[in-house]
Chain A
Amino acid sequence: MGCGTSIAIENQTRPSETAIKAAILIQRWYRRYVARLEMRRRYTWNIFQSIEYAGEQDQLQLSSFFSFMLDNFTQINGNGPDLISHLLDSVVDPLTEEVRQLKYEQIVVPESYSGPRLSFPLSVTDTNALLSAFKEEQTLHGKYVLQLLYETKKFLKQMPNVIYLSTSYAKEITICGDLHGRLDDLLLIFYKNGLPSAENPYIFNGDFVDRGKKSTEIIIILFAFLLLYPDHMHLNRGNHEDHIMNLRYGFTKEVMQKYKTHGREILQLLQDVFSLLPLATVIDNKVLIVHGGISDKTDLDFLSTVERHKVKSALRFPKRSIDHLNVQQSQSRRSSSRHSGRSKLDSPRSSGRTSRASRRRKKHFTKQGSCSSSSSSSSSSSSVVDILWSDPKNPNGCSPNSFRGGGCYFGPDVTQALLQKHGLCLLIRSHECKQEGYELCHNGQVITIFSASNYYEEGSNRGAYVKLGPELVPRFFQYQVSRSTRKLTLHQRVRVAEGSALRALKEKLYTHRSELMAAFQQYDIDNTGRISTSEWAQVVESVLRLDLPWRTLRPRLARLCADGNVEYESCFEDISPGDPIPPVTPNLAETLYRYRTDLEIIFNIIDKDHSGQISIEEFRQTWKLFSSHLGVAVNDQTIDDMARSIDFNKDGSIDFNEFLEAFRVVHKLDVKEQQQG
């Protein structure tokens, strides 16, 4: 007995040769397994980013469409709407402050409303009530939203463009990045790091809204804390604090859905509030915090003089505003801003490295006959766009940000120069999703901090926040909100994210079908239906203009036949159209699928009262404009047929959401999965 156990023990302490070999084999195999998953995760990431940035680049197209309209049409027809006045919809406040305040106070909140009832000035009771309510999925009544926004607007008006803060001894400041409507992430941050207070100051670095479904709740919470702790809570503007971005990326829709009565007024107020958000924060005169980044023209003193509230959107510069967009001279500074002694004002940039987008806008301005002030005004607005849209890159230099269509790519030399110019040591920015929630670059001089976990898809990335104490050494904290209670394995996480990315990619293929087929067929002279992998990859890359590893992706997108060539039509197999509207030809359908989002934005702009309806005439005219701008040949009869067939009630108006729904593609595999249950 004793012998037996001791032998067993001996065996346990000294594994055999074969056992060791077996262990090595398993290790080798497993590491390879993980590497394959890592590869899939990485190209999934590339897909998401490429599509996201390509989408943002489409913004440029939209803004050039607006320029096109401004250039060519002043009015659609006698009875129709003045499309231009829709665009130049600068919010002119006809009511005086007192009247407006009274109006909000008089809004009656029904007895049945069980949500929080705010009282101004706000107290901790109010913010606690808001947090509890939102955790319970309640909605704050429109009256309080309006009052909150109104107070926020009043407060922000006093703020300078650049806010200077200091860490006092033993106080750490917490800096958070993009939230994009992810309430769970914000609540998780507050849970881990505590609520904002005098002992626990916060800076939120922009992009609070869009994409996620709880953008309204997030800004309510952030603005409430802003009013409650004005010295300890700071918000920077992001590129999504922009009403045209909101039209495209979901915030406008969210507001209109949650606030049927007051939605429009809320959105109007928000236009002002967003444009009044400060542009930058500086800690201890050493750390600069902005949402996007910088350019080689960025200068904090100049930035402090810009009339930031005039830059309502980075995506359009209506002619009328140019005249008002003057650069303030150094003597008339805002009262509450603190500056160093220098009253430097950069001379207007005539040539040099303005982004492609602002160059195009400048061309438009001169056509309209604006005076020389145009160059200085566009340098004001481009300095704002640079702050909100730029990305750091590793090569030296500063070049236009072609991905985004606005702002620049700035290199380590640009960072170094700016930091040196203002005696700073660190730049903290957000704007880009990072797998670990944060990333350092430019020799540690730039930190990217991103606070929306699972941004692309469940498991795609962590979120993070950074804390800075008086010694200004950053400490990072990561987290990940998980929808499922059971932890997903690596494989599951990769698969979910990958599935989503591939679906998006397949949609892209489908909506460019005719172009792709035409190009494929150029290689397939004998009409065999097959071309080589190289040829397939080449065509797809040039038509979609997405820089992705197509050969690596090929197995997930298209089928090979027996001789090793690609059956190119197989890449359209998994997608089928939704219910098509009869008079629409396949070509037109494809165009509609592709530009669905842009059309949605335009319809939303035309639909001033946000009713979801536009008149047939408006529909006709918009479509004609858009297609002539795109150079797509659509004959009038087709448009009219389409318009009439959509007008189900025959009352002369179109529910454009229904119209757009018809052009949402259906993924066949999803349908199959649903059927199999």
Chain B
Amino acid sequence: MADKYNAENIITETQKRISNAFDVFDHESNKTVDVREIGTIIRSLGCFPSETDLHDIIAELEEEEPTGFVRYEKFLPTMTKILLERKFRPITEDLLLQAFEVLDQQKKGHLEPEELTKYLTQEGEPFTQEEIDEMLSAAVDPDKNVILYKDFVSMMTFDDTR
């Protein structure tokens, strides 16, 4: 009995979180959001999907005749499932640091901006110019002109909202 109550509680809380996040982007207050904001909403709810993952989700959420908008009625069940199943698990600080260390083949303890740019704009799901520019503006140490990734990771994973 208690478990069922808890389970229901969890679902309601989850749905309210989803609803709140959705509302932030619902400009017309008519329970729809621009399809281009779906990625942001999903990510802000704690998930780390890849771009491919997002394309699949969006394909599911769009209408038969794509309107450019996603309705809340469709979004809610999909998102609830994603959260309850804990899909797209978070990337921890350690994992992130390891990733940078892998890229630092010569074990210098830092990365050159060109090195990082090459990887991130040419491999995987490449960054746009805007994305790499923004990341470098925060990552590159202005005096040494290199990326001290250990410091960078610490800084970026620090949650200043708590």
Across the interface, do B134 and A28 meet the contact criterion of CB distance under 8 Å? no
Chain A residues whose C-beta falls within 8 Å of the C-beta of B87 in the assembled complex: none
Within residues 570 to 587 of chain A, which ones have a CB less than 8 A from any CB in chain B?
none
Smallest CB-CB separation from A46: which chain B residue?
A: B24
Q: A residues within 8 A CB of B100? A: 22, 26
Chain B positions within 8 Å of A42 at CB level: 24-25
Q: Does any Cβ of A come within 8 Å of B129's Cβ?
A: no
* CB pair B124 A39 closer than 8 Å: no
Q: Does A123 contact B (CB under 8 A)?
A: no
Which residues between 81 and 99 of chain B lie within 8 Å of chain A, taking CB atoms?
91, 95-96, 98-99
* A505 → B minimal CB distance (Å): 14
Whether the Cβ atoms of A28 and B91 lie closer than 8 Å is yes
From A22, A32, A39, A555, give the contact of B48 (CB < 8 A).
A32
Interface flag for B74 (CB, 8 Å): no
Question: Once the chains are docked, how many angstroms separate the CA of A336 from the CA of B67?
Answer: 48
Q: How far is the CB of B25 from chain A (nearest CB, A)?
A: 7
Known pairs A19-B123, A30-B135, A551-B17; A38 contacts B96 (CB<8 A): no
Give the docked Cα–Cα distance between A46 and B22 (Å). 13
Partner of B21, one of A32, A393, A489, A549: A549
In the complex, chain B residues whose CB is within 8 Å of the CB of A495: 160
Q: Contact check: which of A19, A26, A39, A534 meets B96 at CB < 8 Å?
A: A26
Tell me if B16 is interfacial: C-beta within 8 Å of chain A: yes
Docked CA distance A269–B99 (Å)? 67
Q: Are A22 and B103 in contact (CB under 8 A)?
A: yes
Does B50 count as interface, using CB distance less than 8 angstroms?
Answer: yes
The residue that A30 contacts in the complex, of B28, B49, B131, B161, with Cβ under 8 A, is: B131
Q: Does A43 count as interface, using CB distance less than 8 angstroms?
A: yes
A31 and B20 contacting across the interface, CB-CB below 8 Å: no
Q: Is B47 located at the chain interface by the 8 A CB criterion?
A: yes
* A19 pairs with B120, CB closer than 8 A: no
CB within 8 A of A35: which of B30, B44, B99, B162?
Answer: B44
A38 touching B49, Cβ below 8 Å: no
Q: In the complex, are the beta carbons of B16 and A551 less than 8 A apart?
A: yes
Interface residues of B in 30-66 (CB under 8 A from A): 30, 39-44, 47-51
On whether A26 and B99 interact (CB within 8 A), knowing A20-B123, A549-B24, the answer reads yes
Choose among B24, B91, B138, B161 the residue that contacts A489 (Cβ–Cβ < 8 A): B138
Residue on A nearest B43 in the bound complex, by CB: A35
User: Would you call B134 and A38 a contact (CB within 8 A)?
Assistant: no
Chain B interface residue number, banded? 35 or more
- In the complex, the chain A residue whose C-beta lies closest to that of B155 is A491
Task: Give complex CA distance A665, B46 in Å.
Answer: 35
B-chain residues with CB within 8 Å of residue A32 when the two chains form the complex: 43, 47-48, 91
In contact, A23 and B124 (Cβ under 8 angstroms): yes
B residues within 8 A CB of A22?
98-100, 102-103, 119
Closest to A39 in B: B44
Chain A, interface size category, equals 35 or more
Most chain B Cβ neighbours within 10 Å, of A23, A35, A394: A23
- B98 proximity list for chain A (CB < 8 A): 22
**Chain B positions within 8 Å of A129 at CB level:** none
Distance of A491 Cα from B156 Cα, bound (Å): 9
- On whether the beta carbons of B24 and A33 are closer than 8 Å, the reply is no
User: When chains A and B are docked, how far (Å) is the Cα of A21 from the Cα of B50?
Assistant: 12
Docked complex Cα distance between A22 and B100 (Å): 7
CB distance from A122 to the nearest CB of B (A): 45
Nearest CB of A to B4, in Å: 18
> Closest Cβ of chain A: how far from B20's Cβ, in Å?
4
Q: Check B141 for interface membership: any CB of A closer than 8 A.
A: no
Residue of B nearest to A20 (CB): B123
What is the chain B residue whose CB lies nearest that of A490?
A: B134
The verdict on A285 contacting chain B, using a C-beta distance below 8 Å, is no
Contact partner, A491, options B29, B43, B138, Cβ 8 Å:
B138
Q: Is B143 an interface residue (CB 8 A)?
A: no
- In the complex, which residues of chain A have a beta carbon less than 8 angstroms from the beta carbon of B123? 15, 19-20, 23-24
* A-side contacts of B24, CB under 8 Å: 39, 42-43, 46, 549, 552
A-B contact pairs, 24 of them (CB 8 A): A19-B105, A19-B123, A21-B102, A23-B99, A23-B119, A24-B124, A25-B91, A26-B96, A26-B100, A27-B127, A28-B50, A32-B48, A34-B134, A35-B40, A46-B24, A395-B30, A487-B137, A489-B137, A534-B16, A549-B24, A551-B16, A552-B17, A552-B21, A552-B24
Chain A residues in the interface with B (C-beta under 8 A): 11, 15, 18-36, 38-40, 42-43, 46, 393-395, 487, 489-491, 495, 533-534, 547, 549-552, 555-556
Top 7 A-B pairs, shortest CB-CB distance: A35-B43, A24-B124, A39-B44, A22-B99, A22-B102, A551-B20, A489-B138
Give me the interface of B with A, judged by CB distance under 8 Å. 13, 16-17, 20-21, 23-25, 28-30, 39-44, 47-51, 91, 95-96, 98-100, 102-103, 105, 119-120, 123-127, 131, 134-135, 137-138, 156, 160-162
If A26-B99, A489-B138 are given as contacts, then 12 extra A-B residue pairs at C-beta distance below 8 Å, sorted by A number, are: A15-B119, A22-B100, A22-B102, A25-B91, A27-B126, A39-B24, A39-B40, A39-B44, A490-B138, A549-B20, A549-B21, A551-B20
